[in-house]
Amino acid sequence: MLLAGLLAAPLAGAAEAILASRVWPAEEYTRVTFETAKPIRHQFFFVPDPARLVVDLEGVDLGDELKSIVSKVREDDPYIKQVRVARNRPNVVRVVFDLKTAVKPQVFPLAPAGVYKHRLVLDIYPEKPRDPLLALVKPDPIGEIAKAPVTESPAAPEPSAPAPELPVLVLRPPEKAADKVAEKAPDKVPEKIAEKPPERTAERPAGKTADKAKPGVTRMVTVVIDAGHGGEDPGARGRGGTLEKNVTLAIAKRLKARIDLEPGMRAILTRDGDYFIPLAQRVTKARRVQADIFVSIHADAFVQPHARGSSVFALSDRGATSTAARWLAKRENESDLIGGVNLDVKDPVLARTLLDLSQTATINDSLKLGKAVLGHLGDINTLHKQAVEQAGFAVLKAPDIPSILVETAFISNPEEERRLKDASYQDKMANALLMGIRRYLAQNPPLARTKIAQNP
């Protein structure tokens, strides 16, 4: 046995009751939490053969809530096979997690935050972490929403059809010869594109003259879609009980389904289920797949229920453009406190990612992306602000990826909460986001890239 953690002996007194126990399974990792009114002392160790994680809870009552953890483990949990709970010795309750594979567990306490009291967190990671690049070569099971046929209202375009007012994107697979690619490009290009070339031109095939070259993207475009909050971090809550984390995931899945139908485009979700991801890891995921665009989807609340409308935010390196933007950024940046991050894990890569680097060019691109998206959001909802706002959102701090945060609506507004739960409105929101992304790419096609970022 390898002793992984040990705290001092428990204080004398009555046994502490477990107020709540929760299990959040995901392909990336499974999180287990025990919530108590006071901190609980514990020790844990890992047994390799057969694989087991053993956690001893000291001074804890063996009550119904603690026992209920057994029934909360799902059969499809990637890492936990079953849980056993029993009293091991006086004043100590032992919880044994029988595992399906070798893991690298992290066990740490969290101070009260948000609606939670003291929590003991068990993050069960696989011994070999999941590579986000695998999402590009194998289908990503993102739930029945994305798999089901998309139904559109008469006013909304089909997901795979180009918007009438947008120029056609010429998305050419990078592995084909340049001359063959040029031959397969559409014969007609809107005159406004021919007259005014994009601000950033992609590499032109050799031997082709400038007047014959057609604007467009010469490789696959990767869009990372970030569904805000998740797991232990529910985000904002509407008066009708709607949780922000559920709304954002539903819209993110719909947007991914549409992007994946677009020729030459692909989408990756930072989370595809109800589990928590730290803000820094969301940024790191986008950078690992060399994303061209990062879109974080939210549906926040405000202290006044009449606040309404959609907004788009970009990063600011000088301060927030309004009091509301500053308040919102502070609220969103507190997600790590509520969701729970293990502060004992020091990752220099993550630390560098969140530095306020010189991002002038990226912020300018983010503002262009935000403006394109905001224009289409105004077609389906009132705009809270007519221009893209800026603030210090941690999730937008990738120094080399145009990144925006979209507040789809105010979940604290009863009328907008009802719309956010409606499937047809979620479809319209996903369409508007796609149209904005396409408009931005038509005007700012990404440059050529090394093979690692191209379509496998």
Last residue of a domain, one of 111, 130, 149: 130
pLDDT at 11: 45
Q: Are residues 139 and 101 in the same domain?
A: no
- In a domain, residue 234? The reply is yes
CATH code at position 409 = 3.40.630.40
- In a domain, residue 119? The reply is yes
- In a domain, residue 144? The reply is yes
CA dist 113 and 414 (Å) reads 26
SS (H, E, C) the chain: CEEEEECCCCCCCCCECCCEEEEECCCCCEEEEEEECCCCEEEEEEECCCCEEEEEEECECCCHHHHHHHHHCCCCCCCEEEEEEEEEECCEEEEEEEECCCEEEEEEEECCECCECEEEEEEEEECCCCCHHHHHCCCCCCCHHHHCCCCCCCCCCCCCCCCCCCCCCCECCCCCCHHHHHHHCCCCCCHHHHHCCCCCCCCCCCCCCCCCCCCCECCCEEEEEEECCECCECCCECCCCCEHHHHHHHHHHHHHHHHHHCCCEEEEECCCCCCCCCHHHHHHHHHHCCCCEEEEEECCCCCCCCCCCEEEEEECCCCCCCHHHHHHHHHHHCHHHHHCCCCCCCCHHHHHHCCCCCCHHHHHHHHHHHHHHHHHHCCCCCECCCCCEEECCHHHCCCCCCEEEEECCCCCCHHHHHHHHCHHHHHHHHHHHHHHHHHHHHHCCCCCCCHHHCCC
pLDDT at 359: 60
CA dist 45 and 28 (Å) reads 21
Last residue of a domain, one of 85, 111, 130: 130
- Full domain range(s) for residue 398: 133-157+219-453
Q: Are residues 121 and 141 in the same domain?
A: no
Last residue of a domain, one of 113, 130, 147: 130
Calculate what percentage of the chain has a pLDDT beyond 90: 55
- In a domain, residue 140? The reply is yes
- In a domain, residue 436? The reply is yes
Q: Which of 267, 234, 270 is nearest to 27 (CA)?
A: 270
**Which residues of the chain are modeled with pLDDT < 50?**
1-12, 140-214, 350-358, 450-456
Domains in the chain, number: 2
Tell how strand 41-47 and strand 20-24 pair up: unpaired
Q: Are residues 150 and 38 in the same domain?
A: no
Q: Are residues 363 and 429 in the same domain?
A: yes
Q: Are residues 112 and 229 in the same domain?
A: no
- In a domain, residue 184? The reply is no
Helix axes 360-377, 423-443, angle to 10 degrees: 130
Q: Are residues 301 and 365 in the same domain?
A: yes
Q: Are residues 140 and 243 in the same domain?
A: yes
Residue corresponding to tokens 């409308």? 309
Q: Are residues 140 and 252 in the same domain?
A: yes
Q: Are residues 242 and 146 in the same domain?
A: yes
pLDDT at 133: 62
Q: Are residues 65 and 152 in the same domain?
A: no
- In a domain, residue 151? The reply is yes
Q: Are residues 114 and 13 in the same domain?
A: yes
Q: Are residues 82 and 152 in the same domain?
A: no
Residue corresponding to tokens 């006086």? 90
- In a domain, residue 175? The reply is no
CATH code at position 84 = 2.60.40.3500
